[in-house]
Chain A
Amino acid sequence: MSDGLGNILLDLFPLMWSGMITGCLYALGALGLVMIFKSSQVVNFSHGNVAGFAAFLIYGFSSGVLLNLSWGVAVLLAMIAVVAIAFLIYAVISPLVFESELTATISTLGFGLIAQGATLLIFGADIVNLDLPIPRFSMSFLGLFITGYDLTVLAVAVVTIGTLFFVVDYTKLGIAFRAISENPFAAEVCGLNLRSIHLFSWIVAAILGVVGALLIVPTTFLSVTTVAAFMLQAFAAAVIGGFASLPGSLVGGILIGILMNLFTFYVSAEFTSTFLLVLILLALNVFPNGILARAGGSRV
């Protein structure tokens, strides 16, 4: 009896650990979605496809397919490209945002389709590898098998999310962002420029998306659909967090990571999307304002 329990615990800890690592990535994706939603009430369905396109750009720039640059320069170039894309998307949909959020949301689907098609046109439908330039390293700690990849993800996630929360909480831009997400009308009356804040959130979201994509790709491989598929879990994370809460989506991401891992291991690996559907419907109905709705107090 206690032996069985011991076995379960033995499985459970590594599952939760790796779930948390992936969860951090879901959170990175979710934070981007939530940033945009908080500022402009638009759900950015192009998030995954644009981030996937960026991952392919990095591959293209560093592998010799397009250019033969170092990894760092390739990432930098891809970031610039993605910021430009975010700028373009926002420029096209900004008149819609002020008319109807739902119409603007539908049009992001259009950009998603275009990004997907562009990826196919430039890079084809093949599967490629895109690794992180990190040393191969692993250690055992309290029964957990921890790799260099795990620590990298954790470190990058902590730094990125920490920076984001700092920016949102303490900088002028962040305060404006919060003011607008609380009450866009009042904020505009007070002289804040809605468009520039929207743009800020779109650009930050795009960068978060690329970071997330870069970190998730080494665990699988890179194809047209990998990043888009990964972003779907990010959607679930954002929904569980209430879609309008930055800390909520962090918690939601980690929760989704762990729950998906446990579900895959203990229940079934074939019904993960169905499990996500159930999670999303449950979350939307049981916690319509997110799991952190009652905690309150936070400024982000």
Chain B
Amino acid sequence: MSKSSASIETMPGSASGNHARGWLAASGADYLLAAVLFALPFLIGGSWTFALGICFANSIGVLAVSVLVRYGGEVSIGHSFFAAVGAYAVAILDTRYGLSLVASLPLALVLGTVCGVAFAWPSRKLSGIYLAVSTMALALAVPELINNADWLTGGYEGLYVSQSVIPGVEASLQRYYAGLLALIAVVYGLRRLRHSRQGLTLLLAKQHPAAADAFGTRQVWARIAVMGISGGIGGVCGAILAFAGSTVSPSSFTFWTSIFLLVGSVVSFYGLSLTRALVGGAFLTLVPQFLSASGAWIPVLYGLALLGMILIGHYLPRIRSFLFASKGGA
């Protein structure tokens, strides 16, 4: 069952020491980027503000997938499920009870986490491709579950999200800043996690489950914890997606959504920093924006990007050592 134990993080320089320190380190780039993003809505047009709001949501989704890779060593192609849970939590609270994101975002986080744990429990013994296949099955079931619960979800037509967080403030700014703040909060939480007791033990459990076990970390606990965290972030992604896009429908949460989130995660080299997450999120948001004339190019481009990044990750250590060698010789 556990044949595919090899690490999937064949990302740039994973062999070299610097990299392992770099994938999560706080960097000046993150602070600078955050500052720029806070000022941005006053410098750009409304359609860009909207696109960036979606981009923040996608970045959070990318983080949800990346955290599973980094802390669990697992790949998910089912995160549209958790995003759907978060998005519909927001939309349903909004349309049924008139509650805004303030109330529904925490609920989305909790529901996402609960769903992550609920999914992890039956699949706690699965890893590698077996887990990937079961996440695929999870993603496939989402649209049909939404469509068939139309009394709750609005079925095929979906629901609108209209409650504002701070009444009086322009809606487009609310959507933008809610996404940005949520993204920064998630990045911050993940940075804390990296230096927490749980984070350390999870990282050991990923690499050496038996060693982690011998120091008091049960593998089942590690598996469920990582899936819970990832699911929770997935829920937040969905919540922001719903709020920033102001609408939810089953077509936003298909199997392809899950694959795209994985593409974004690979494109960001599974990074958990703000910059890396935004690279992944921007790729998912802006590529379709630019290619809106010819939708058929989107899968081609995503596919090429996925392959390209993986191959770069594979060959970069070699290229780098080649470059260093030639420098040393000069």
Q: Do chains A and B touch in the complex (CB under 8 A)?
A: yes
Contacts of A72 in B (CB 8 A): none
Interface-lining segment among A58-66, A105-113, A155-163, A253-261: A105-113
Q: How long is the Cα–Cα vector from A281 to B77 in the complex, in angstroms?
A: 15
Tell me, yes or no, whether B298 is within 8 Å of chain A by CB.
yes
Tell me, yes or no, whether B137 is within 8 Å of chain A by CB.
yes
Q: Which of B122, B133, B295, B307 contacts A239 (CB 8 A)?
A: B133
Q: Which of B132, B144, B145 contacts A105 (CB 8 A)?
A: B132
Contacts of B303 in A (CB 8 A): 109-117
Tell me, yes or no, whether A102 is within 8 Å of chain B by CB.
yes
- Which residues of chain A (146-203) have a CB below 8 Å from chain B? none
Contacts of A41 in B (CB 8 A): 3-4, 129
Write out, one digit per residue, whether chain B residues 105-131 have a CB within 8 A of any chain A CB (1) or not (0): 000000000000000001101101110
Q: How long is the Cα–Cα vector from A70 to B306 in the complex, in angstroms?
A: 37
Tell whether, in the assembled complex, residue B302 and residue A113 are in contact, meaning their CB atoms are under 8 Å apart: yes
Contacts of A273 in B (CB 8 A): 137, 140-141, 143-144
Known contacts A103-B8, A273-B140; decide if A120 and B296 are in contact (CB<8 Å): yes
- Which residues of chain B (267-320) have a CB below 8 Å from chain A? 295-307, 310-311, 313-314
Tell whether, in the assembled complex, residue A285 and residue B132 are in contact, meaning their CB atoms are under 8 Å apart: no
Nearest-CB residue, chain B, relative to A283: B134
Within the complex, what minimum Cβ distance (angstroms) separates B259 from chain A?
6
Q: Which of B295, B299, B310 contacts A106 (CB 8 A)?
A: B310
Q: How long is the Cα–Cα vector from A105 to B75 in the complex, in angstroms?
A: 10
Tell me, yes or no, whether B10 is within 8 Å of chain A by CB.
yes
Tell me, yes or no, whether B44 is within 8 Å of chain A by CB.
no
- Which residues of chain B (161-213) have a CB below 8 Å from chain A? none
Nearest-CB residue, chain A, relative to B304: A114
Q: How long is the Cα–Cα vector from A243 to B2 in the complex, in angstroms?
A: 13
Tell me, yes or no, whether B321 is within 8 Å of chain A by CB.
no
Tell whether, in the assembled complex, residue B306 and residue A285 are in contact, meaning their CB atoms are under 8 Å apart: no
Tell whether, in the assembled complex, residue A99 and residue B141 are in contact, meaning their CB atoms are under 8 Å apart: no
Contacts of B310 in A (CB 8 A): 96, 103, 106-107, 110
Nearest-CB residue, chain A, relative to B78: A277
Tell me, yes or no, whether B7 is within 8 Å of chain A by CB.
yes
Q: How many A-B residue pairs have CB under 8 A?
A: 156
Q: Number of A residues whose C-beta is below 8 Å from B? A: 47
Tell me, yes or no, whether B52 is within 8 Å of chain A by CB.
no
Contacts of B132 in A (CB 8 A): 43, 102, 105
Known contacts A92-B311, A95-B314, A116-B299; decide if A100 and B10 are in contact (CB<8 Å): yes
Contacts of A280 in B (CB 8 A): 133-134, 137
Tell whether, in the assembled complex, residue B299 and residue A117 are in contact, meaning their CB atoms are under 8 Å apart: yes
Write out, one digit per residue, whether chain A residues 48-69 have a CB within 8 A of any chain B CB (1) or not (0): 0000000000000000000000
Contacts of A92 in B (CB 8 A): 307, 311
Nearest-CB residue, chain A, relative to B136: A235
Contacts of A121 in B (CB 8 A): 296-297, 300
Q: How long is the Cα–Cα vector from A45 to B137 in the complex, in angstroms?
A: 13
Interface centre among A41, A96, A101, A113, by most chain B C-beta atoms within 10 angstroms, is A113
Q: How long is the Cα–Cα vector from A96 to B10 in the complex, in angstroms?
A: 9
Tell whether, in the assembled complex, residue A107 and residue B307 are in contact, meaning their CB atoms are under 8 Å apart: yes
Tell whether, in the assembled complex, residue B1 and residue A106 are in contact, meaning their CB atoms are under 8 Å apart: no
- Which residues of chain B (222-236) have a CB below 8 Å from chain A? none
Tell me, yes or no, whether A3 is within 8 Å of chain B by CB.
no
Nearest-CB residue, chain A, relative to B310: A107
Q: How long is the Cα–Cα vector from A280 to B143 in the complex, in angstroms?
A: 18
Contacts of A99 in B (CB 8 A): 6, 10, 314
Tell me, yes or no, whether B27 is within 8 Å of chain A by CB.
no
Tell whether, in the assembled complex, residue A100 and residue B7 are in contact, meaning their CB atoms are under 8 Å apart: yes
Tell whether, in the assembled complex, residue A289 and residue B314 are in contact, meaning their CB atoms are under 8 Å apart: no
Q: How long is the Cα–Cα vector from A270 to B8 in the complex, in angstroms?
A: 36
Tell whether, in the assembled complex, residue B306 and residue A106 are in contact, meaning their CB atoms are under 8 Å apart: yes
Contacts of B148 in A (CB 8 A): 270-271
Within the complex, what minimum Cβ distance (angstroms) separates B109 from chain A?
24
Contacts of B101 in A (CB 8 A): none
Contacts of B129 in A (CB 8 A): 37, 41-43, 101-102, 105, 243
Known contacts A92-B311, A284-B123; decide if A114 and B299 are in contact (CB<8 Å): yes
Q: Which of B4, B262, B295 contacts A101 (CB 8 A)?
A: B4
Tell me, yes or no, whether A16 is within 8 Å of chain B by CB.
no
Tell me, yes or no, whether A288 is within 8 Å of chain B by CB.
yes
Tell whether, in the assembled complex, residue B8 and residue A117 are in contact, meaning their CB atoms are under 8 Å apart: no
Tell me, yes or no, whether B266 is within 8 Å of chain A by CB.
yes
Known contacts A92-B307, A236-B137, A276-B137; decide if A118 and B125 are in contact (CB<8 Å): no
Tell whether, in the assembled complex, residue A285 and residue B123 are in contact, meaning their CB atoms are under 8 Å apart: yes
Tell me, yes or no, whether A232 is within 8 Å of chain B by CB.
yes
Q: How long is the Cα–Cα vector from A85 to B84 in the complex, in angstroms?
A: 35
Q: How long is the Cα–Cα vector from A37 to B147 in the complex, in angstroms?
A: 34
Write out, one digit per residue, whether chain A residues 85-98 have a CB within 8 A of any chain B CB (1) or not (0): 00000001001100
By a beta-carbon cutoff of 8 Å, the part of chain A in contact with chain B is: 37, 41-43, 45, 92, 95-96, 99-103, 105-107, 109-118, 120-121, 125, 232, 235-236, 239, 243, 270-274, 276-277, 280-281, 284-285, 288-289
Given A99-B6, A102-B129, A271-B144; 4 other pairs, CB 8 A cutoff? A101-B3, A116-B299, A271-B145, A285-B125
